[in-house]
């Protein structure tokens, strides 16, 4: 395993991070524990979670993922061996069960969110605290066609950063990050931090995979020049790039089989492109999922690639992607498919 700096901090995080959003829904606590052990044995030191996990988000399971992680540390110790990242939910996205849906990034809500996460995780501090999606009307979660509403309620970024500054100074969080953000949003957070002496954003967690390389358009330059590296989520596009859904297959207990909600990558053009990438991998004798993951991990703007699995066999396969070196021929094949069908699932 290789390790990369988390932004401008002195923290080194593994190039693969352990995703946890299925724990408490598709995975039991015991299975979550087993994944933590397996990932640690492979050299992973970075685990990502959120207050709204598991997904799909439901009031009945909200916070269960953080509780599972916290129970692991309570029973087995080793908290100091891990970099733990969590996230605060914002308004919208169908979330009405967290702080009654009025969870803006203001003082009351951010303090409550942090305190709740710390309690569930059985820890005194979070290494990275992220804003799960913007507290304003903009494009995220695959939305296109920006429409500006000057009357929409937003929490000023100044107010949000001021609270985060206090939380950093209190020792409850070490560093801050963004998620599902736009180039304007990242730039504004950096600008205010520099001018006001507030905490500097160290990462951005956005989707990035062979079906959605939109990060390259505006955010990749910011990530490199400003040292705000990408924490890539959905690197397998909800599993579509693994090949397990080829020819209309719906494997038992798979995400797209279980949950109608997950349609972001399930459109005709995305399915065609995914089939082309799967075929490319198989032509070269490479596991399709490992090809997709290796490509993401190799990008120069990436800090860590967040892998997720529901079985230890899947996790082992994902871990093995780290050792896959993509040949020039494979890379050329990827670019050919991308040119023919760019970003079919933004």
Task: Please give the Cα distance from 16 to 255 (Å, whole number).
Answer: 21
The answer to whether the beta carbons of residues 235 and 209 sit under 8 Å apart is yes
Question: What is the DSSP code (8-state) at residue 246?
Answer: G
Q: Which two tokens stand for residue 89?
A: 């939910």
Considering only residues 244 and 64, tell me which one the structure prediction assigns the higher pLDDT. 64
pLDDT at 295 over 80: yes
Average pLDDT, the chain: 95
Residue 340 CB neighbours (<10 A):
10
pLDDT tens, residue by residue, 148-174: 888 888 899 999 999 999 999 999 999
Q: What is the mean pLDDT of residues 328-337?
A: 98
pLDDT at 317 over 80: yes
> What integer pLDDT is reported at residue 51 of this predicted model?
98
> What integer pLDDT is reported at residue 220 of this predicted model?
98
Give the chain's radius of gyration (CA, Å).
Answer: 19
The contacts of residue 296 (CB under 8 Å, 6+ apart) are 208, 209, 232, 235, 302, 305
Domain layout of the chain by residue ranges? 3-238+295-324
Q: Which residues pair with 204 in a beta bridge?
A: 178, 230
pLDDT tens, residue by residue, 107-149: 999 999 999 999 999 999 999 999 999 999 888 888 888 888 8
pTM: 0.96
pLDDT tens, residue by residue, 18-53: 999 999 999 999 999 999 999 999 999 999 999 999
- Phi then psi for 261, rounded to 5 degrees? -60, -35
Active site residue 265: no
Q: Which two tokens stand for residue 332?
A: 């050329």
pLDDT tens, residue by residue, 298-309: 999 999 999 999
> What integer pLDDT is reported at residue 1 of this predicted model?
96
pLDDT tens, residue by residue, 233-291: 999 999 999 999 888 777 777 777 677 777 788 899 999 999 999 999 999 999 999 99
| Catalytic-role residue among 3, 53, 277, 295 | 53
pLDDT at 223 over 80: yes
CA 331 to chain centre: 24
* ∠ CA 238-244-245, rounded to 5°: 75
Instruction: Give the architecture-level CATH label for domain 3-238+295-324.
Output: Alpha-Beta Barrel (3.20)
């Amino acid at each position: 395993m290789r390790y990369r700096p988390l932004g401008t901090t002195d923290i080194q995080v593994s190039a693969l991070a352990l995703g946890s959003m299925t724990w408490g829904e598709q995975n039991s606590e015991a299975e979550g524990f087993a994944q933590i052990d397996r990932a640690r044995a492979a050299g992973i030191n970075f685990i990502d979670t959120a207050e709204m996990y598991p997904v799909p988000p439901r009031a009945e399971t909200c916070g269960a993922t953080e509780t599972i992680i916290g129970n692991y540390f309570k029973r087995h110790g080793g908290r100091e061996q891990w970099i733990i990242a969590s996230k605060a939910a914002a308004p919208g996205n169908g979330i009405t069960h967290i702080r009654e849906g009025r969870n803006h990034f203001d003082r009351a809500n951010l303090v409550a969110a942090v305190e709740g996460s710390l309690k569930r995780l059985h820890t005194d501090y979070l290494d990275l605290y992220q804003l799960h999606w913007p507290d304003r009307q903009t494009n995220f979660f695959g939305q296109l066609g920006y429409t500006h509403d000057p009357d929409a309620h937003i929490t000023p970024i100044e107010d949000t950063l001021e609270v985060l500054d206090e939380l950093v100074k209190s020792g409850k969080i070490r560093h801050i990050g963004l998620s599902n953000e736009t180039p304007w949003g990242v730039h504004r957070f950096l600008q205010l931090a520099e001018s006001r002496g507030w905490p500097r954003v160290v990462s951005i967690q956005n989707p990035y995979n062979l079906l959605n390389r939109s990060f390259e358009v505006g955010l990749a330059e910011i990530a490199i020049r400003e040292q705000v590296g990408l924490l890539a989520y959905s690197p397998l596009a909800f599993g579509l790039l693994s090949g397990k859904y080829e020819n209309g297959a719906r494997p038992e207990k798979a995400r797209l089989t279980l949950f109608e909600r997950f349609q972001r990558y399930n459109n005709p053009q995305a399915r065609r492109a995914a089939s082309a990438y799967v075929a490319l991998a198989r032509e070269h004798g490479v596991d399709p999922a490992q090809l997709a993951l290796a490509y993401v991990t190799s990008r120069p703007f990436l800090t860590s690639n967040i892998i997720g699995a529901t079985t230890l066999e899947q996790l082992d396969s994902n871990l093995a992607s780290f050792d896959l070196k993509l040949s020039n021929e494979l890379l050329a094949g990827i670019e050919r498919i991308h040119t023919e069908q760019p970003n079919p699932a933004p």
